[in-house]
Structure 1
Amino acid sequence: MFALSACASDGPFEAESLEGELGKDTPAERAGLGFTREGALERASPVGGERARQAEAARVVRELWEVAGARGAPGEAWTFDYQVHGGALTLLSFRRTTPGQGMGASVEWSTFSRELTRSLSTLVGVKPRRLRFTLERGPERWRFDLETVRGPVAVQARTVPEALPGASGPQLSDALAVARQLLPASRVPWQGRVHERARLQFEGLRLHPEVELGVFEVQEGSGRRSAPESTDLRTPVVKALLPFANAVGSRTVEVELEGRHERGEAEPRWRVVAATTLEPAPPPEAMEDIAREYRAMQEDILRRWREEVKDSARLAGVWSFEQLAYWYVGGFIAKGALGAMEAAAPTVVSVLGRGGAKAAQWFRTVLIRTPPAEREALQRIWMKVEAEGLAALEAGEQAELRHILAQVEKALHEPLDRQAKKRLRQWARREYFETVNPRLARELGPLRMEAYEIHHRVPLEYARVFPRMEINQGTNLVAVERTVHRSINRVWESVGQQSQRLDSRQVEELSRVIDQHYGSWFHRIHVPAESASALAAAEQNALRAVKALLER
């Protein structure tokens, strides 16, 4: 409704057809995609579904088997905590609560999975809650229990169910490298037992190779003689770590391992007996009001990365400028990238360093001023950072990122091109009537609204002298009837060739002149025939005032 007519320009007015330009928008922009009130990502098409929820349940059963079921001894008991959200299941922690004794009848995977999978997807549901699976090993089979436990919604939890692929080559390599650090340094005494604790860091889909080793203690055995070890000992550890890669954002997982050597066995056995995703620190103050939106974009990026949609051309139209802006600003701040960006883009860093939704809205206008090829390159590089971390960027990618940021910085100090102006006017019109002044929209109604345009108090033509200003911020937008706006445009046009030499102080003074002489028509319903003479007088007075300012 709010896009029935083009917003008039600030400066030389040229009648433009909005309909022709809309065909150049991406599908996401035409759909007006952004975020819901709860911070969830709006999408052009639905995601998830019953089949995806079933796949989630099947994956959970496999994780329970790999960690506990395949090697459990009679009497053993485990708990696994998962966050449910929208049917997606994210592993938060697991712990062996009771050790087993001896050897019972072997349990087949088919029996284990059949008993647990049958109705799991239905029992899980879609409402946000924490679920605890309790597994107890009897002489011949596992017994299961499922209950809801109290706890906040985990910030690293996924919200869209999907059929996750198996571990990728890089993920397996990461887990093997970590297991290699944990096990060889922790020799198991002959017929003894050791306990080890460590902290691991996940970034997106990747597990950092650096391990923060913690407590290591020999609980049984003298330690004078060590049991022999082989590379096969790492397999149970790897399988226990991989499920934690299926979460969102940066997170720390604390793991506890047990190494045990039994009489008569050739080598020791290693198991991860507990693992917990630690509660993250609150977001930086600069990110508090955009944290939810940023996490929603993180999840969508990881989902597409898993699907190997890494070609930016294939992603055209998937996200709107608003969604991308929240993602970039959130990522730059959360990953501590602003310091490294300052030399190439000091203005960008100074604004984004303030953080918050206002910084994201400002960066949206920056993106529209950036050439499409550079926007696509930035999107491609930052997707890799989101999925694998800043350290994953190669030297050539780091240089390309610095070049893109330098070009973004340069564009801030140059005039807006015609396409950027048209897009900013479209956004200004929609956001003014939807957010800034919906009351006026209701009073006008859709038909009368066609005669009203959005005036930028600081015109788009002068955005270059206010590089840190969000030119579409609410305080810079005014709704006026078309004849009033044309009169305002004539006043600005009277500046002529001097417009190229105006600085920010002079533009602000001229803006105050416009406010002084036309303010009575701002944000109000106006009937042109009733105040034609008053409007003409206002224009003449404003022209004289502008001339006087320019002659000083």
Structure 2
Amino acid sequence: MTRSDSRGEASWHRMPPVLGLLWVFALAACASDGSFERESFEEATGDDTPAERAGLGFTREGALERASPVGDERARQAEAARVVRELWEVAGARGAPGEAWTFDYQVHGGALTLLSFRRTATGQGAGAAVEWSGFSRELTRSLSTLVGVKPRRLRFTLERGLERWRFELETVRGPVAVHARTVPESLSGASGLLVSDALTVARQLLPASRVPWEGRVHERARLQFEGLRLHPEVELGVFEVREGSGRRTAPGSADLRMPVVQALLPFANAVGSRTVEVELEGRHVRGEAEPRWRVVAATTLEPSAPPEELRDLAREYRAMQEDILRHWREEVEDSARLAGVWSFEQLAYWYVGGFIAKGALGAMEAVAPTVVSVLGRGGAKAAQWFRTVLIRTPPAEREALQRIWMKVEAEGLVALEAGEQARLRSLLKGMEHRLRTPITDKYSKDKLREWARQEYFEVHQPRLAQALGKERLGTYQVHHLVPIEHAHLFPTRGVNAAENLVGMAREVHSSVNSVWTFVRTNTKSVSAREVEEIAHITHNHFGRWFHVLYDSSKSGAALASAEKAALKEVAAVLGL
């Protein structure tokens, strides 16, 4: 017998798919910024290069670079103590002699993330009561020396004897789980919201009066965790009666939900969107008034690995998620200020990954179609493009967006109230409008130029920087083929994309600038087509001096001729 739970999807209350998070990383790797030359978007440079991933404040392993260390010895001890409590709540407190369980955890940096557990043998009878103090003392002693900090999977095996539990701990093979935390924390108990989520889910999992008298039932279901919350909707699967006739059922009460709730709560201590598949057993024993319900197995489903070329992006987005959740657990108010220590690059990677992973792009399309069209392509270049969008967003609006999206990361889109949803749409609409508005504020223009110079010499052309040397490097300029003042005519392209940046000597830059000064002083406005033509003219006439050392003694006369010819062609384009 099977049953399923299907509900309509509201625009801001959409339940993410099982593999939703890494869908963003499986997008076509060929997505890129459009070239400012005559290539189409698809024909422009396709593969992401280290240029788009450099200088973002991430370590080689994808973790965030931090000013001060996190996760001390006290936090690692707290992780071990929490795991002992989880083993007790799921298995130890109610185990019968002969019962056996396995629990798999991911260790990373001393943090312990529950991956799965399963009852491997059922028990019978009632041996001597096991006290929490004895259970925790023995297991904690083992953990203190065996957990470590290196990335690996650990398996706890618990077997219940007549008087106590016996434990074994071993390393098992398996990839590093993408939803695992990497920073140990002294986690507090489950929040009231999470417990409420779990009670709501448990109510759906435990059907009223469905356990046969002196019988046993088995049930499967899939649950969706989002940040620190458990989604209230449940995908119900197989429900079958394994013992008992079903003619008479055992009465139930709300108290039956607590063992189920306690088994679900540990899976909230992970990162991102994840699906947990659970198996439950309901059993009624002769002489007892009510049936007993237990979660006898639970597994976090592993998403498919992203393509090799997108794994850096995947790790970086995960790192941002973890940092948000860590601060959110500590104090929500401080989390709102967290973004102040992040770079625009880090924020852009976080937003691009989050908008797609949480299924928000569809709801955004009506108010921000250009933003959606670029971010929907995914990849590092989309993040680099969105960085230029963020720099053009007023500080108050950036802070408002950060506050709203941090709540989404911690609790999911469903947690946003109507006012927050409206504010998010308003913020995105403002971004869309500014994409087609000239960049006029000095801060934005200076920041874009600063990034362009840094990335050009440190990432795109480090050999040229080395050849110039420290003294001569200051005399070389980084020029935008299509100037910043015309970036609004090309809203889907990155003004700081590698193909729009060229390095040249100060003398060459002066001549190129004379062309754009001529444009500025002879016409009130130019079209996108005219800007592209003028950019081609400057490339054709001055391109020989791009990305190379300049020798004025050999090129002075040629430069003057190039400027004269370029001005003549530009005048023709403008109809002058």
| TM score, norm. by length of structure 1 | 0.90
1:43 pairs with 2:89? no
Which of residues 94, 100, 109 in structure 1 aligns to 2:123?
100
Structure 1 residues 331 and 499 mapped into 2: Cα distance closer, same or farther (>3 Å)? farther
* Residues matched between the structures, number: 522
- CA distance in 2 between counterparts of 1:243 and 1:191 reads 31
Distance 2:395 2:273 in 1: 30
Query: Aligned to 2:182, what secondary structure does the other structure show?
Result: coil
Structure 1 partner of 2:216: 193
- Partner residue of 2:388 out of 365, 380, 399: 365
- Alignment of structure 1 residues 78-477 onto 2, 5 Å: 78-185=101-208, 187-281=210-304, 290-310=313-333, 314-416=337-439, 417-477=441-501
The answer as to whether partners of 1:259 and 1:269 remain within 8 angstroms in 2 is yes
**Please, which moves more after superposition, 226-235 or 466-475?**
226-235
Distance 1:503 1:40 in 2: 44
Q: Contact conserved, 2:76 with 2:184, CA < 8 A, in 1?
A: yes
Q: How far did residue 437 of structure 1 move?
A: 1.0
- For 1:167, the aligned partner's letter is A
Show the counterpart of 1:551.
575
Q: Secondary structure at the match of 2:153?
A: strand
* Cα distance between partner residues in 2 of 1:250 and 1:454: 41
Paired residues of 2:98 and 2:123 also in contact (CA < 8 A): yes
SS in 2 for 1:265: coil
CA distance in 2, matches of 1:312, 1:74: 47
Once the two structures are TM-superposed, the CA of residue 539 in structure 1 deviates from its matched residue by 2.5
Q: Distance in 1 between matches of 2:63 and 2:524?
A: 43
2:57 match = 34
Call closer, same or farther: CA 1:76–1:335 in 2, change over 3 Å: same
Contact 1:286–1:355 (CA under 8 A) maintained in structure 2: no
Provide the C-alpha distance between the structure 2 equivalents of 1:329 and 1:343, rounded to a whole number of angstroms: 18
Q: Can you list the C-alpha shifts for 1:73-92, whole angstroms capped at 9, x where unaligned?
A: 11111000111112111111
Q: Aligned partners of 2:104, 2:169: CA distance in 1, in Å?
A: 10
Q: Aligned AA for 1:388? A: E
**CA drift at 1:426:** 0.8
1:215-248 CA-partner distances (Å, limit 9, x unpaired) = 2222222323222322221111110000011111
**Pairwise CA distance, 1:188:** 2.2
Structure 2 segments unaligned to the other structure (5+ residues): 1-53
Distance 1:288 1:184, change over 3 A: same
Q: 2:297 is aligned with what amino acid?
A: A
Deviates more, 1:525-534 or 1:389-398: 525-534
Q: Secondary structure at the match of 1:118?
A: helix
1:409 to 1:496, Cα distance in 2 relative to 1, 3 A: same
More displaced 10-residue stretch of structure 1: 116-125 or 203-212: 116-125
Q: Deviations over 1:142-192 (max 9, x none)?
A: 111111111121111111111112100100000011111122335322222
Indicate the SS of the match to 1:510. helix
In the aligned structure 1, how far is the partner of 2:199 from the partner of 2:336?
34
Aligned residues of 2:364 and 2:428 also touching (Cα < 8 A): yes
**TM-score for the superposition, normalised by structure 2:** 0.86
Measure how far apart 1:313 and its partner are: 5.3
- Which sits farther off after the overlay, 116-125 or 530-539? 530-539
Residues 66-122 of structure 1: per-residue CA shift (max 9 Å, x gap): 101111111111000111112111111101101111111111111111111124143
Could you say if the C-alpha distance between residues 424 and 312 of structure 1 is closer, same or farther in structure 2, counting changes exceeding 3 Å?
farther
Residues 313, 380 of structure 2: 8 Å contact kept: yes
3-state SS of 2:130 partner = coil
Please tell me the residue identity of whatever aligns with 1:391.
Answer: V
Contact 2:58 2:316 in 1 (8 A): yes
Please state whether the residue corresponding to 2:159 is helix, strand or coil: strand
In the alignment, the residues of structure 1 paired with residue 384 and residue 408 of structure 2 have an alpha-carbon distance, to the nearest angstrom, of 22
Q: Is the 8 A contact 2:209 2:250 kept in 1?
A: no
Offset of residue 285 of structure 1: 12
Structure 1 residues 328 and 143 mapped into 2: Cα distance closer, same or farther (>3 Å)?
same
The letter for the 1-side match of 2:303 is P
Distance apart, 1:498 and its partner CA: 4.4
Contact 1:158–1:248 (CA<8 Å) still a contact in 2? yes
Classify the secondary structure of the residue corresponding to 2:574.
helix
CA contact (8 A) 1:33 1:43 kept: no
Report if aligned partners of 1:77, 1:97 keep a CA contact under 8 Å in 2: yes
Report % sequence identity: 77
- For the Cα contact (< 8 Å) 2:352–2:386, is it kept in 1? yes
Q: Identify the range of structure 1 (128-137 vs 310-319) with the bigger mean alpha-carbon deviation.
A: 310-319
* Mapped partners of 2:154, 2:524: distance in 1: 64
Amino acid at match of 1:207: L
Is contact 1:190-1:225 (8 Å) kept? yes
CA distance in 1, matches of 2:438, 2:521: 15
Distance 2:74 2:334 in 1: 27
SS at match of 2:94: coil
What letter matches 2:153 in structure 1?
A: R
Q: Deviation of residue 316 (structure 1)?
A: 4.4
Structure 1 partner of 2:42: none
In the TM superposition, what whole-angstrom CA distance separates every residue of 1:486-538 from its partner, at most 9, and x where no partner exists?
22222211113445411111111111221222222211122445543333333
Relative to structure 1, the CA distance from residue 122 to residue 452 in structure 2 (aligned partners, 3 Å threshold; closer, same or farther) is farther
State the alpha-carbon separation in 1 of the partners of residues 59 and 112 from structure 2: 22
For residue 290 of structure 1, give the secondary structure of its aligned residue in structure 2: helix
Residue 15 of structure 1 aligns with which residue? none
Aligned to 2:509: 485
Question: Does 246-255 or 444-453 show the bigger shift?
Answer: 444-453
Kept in 2: contact 1:286–1:353 (CA 8 A): no
Residue deviations 1:176-209 (CA, integer Å, cap 9, x gap) = 1111112233532222222222111111111111
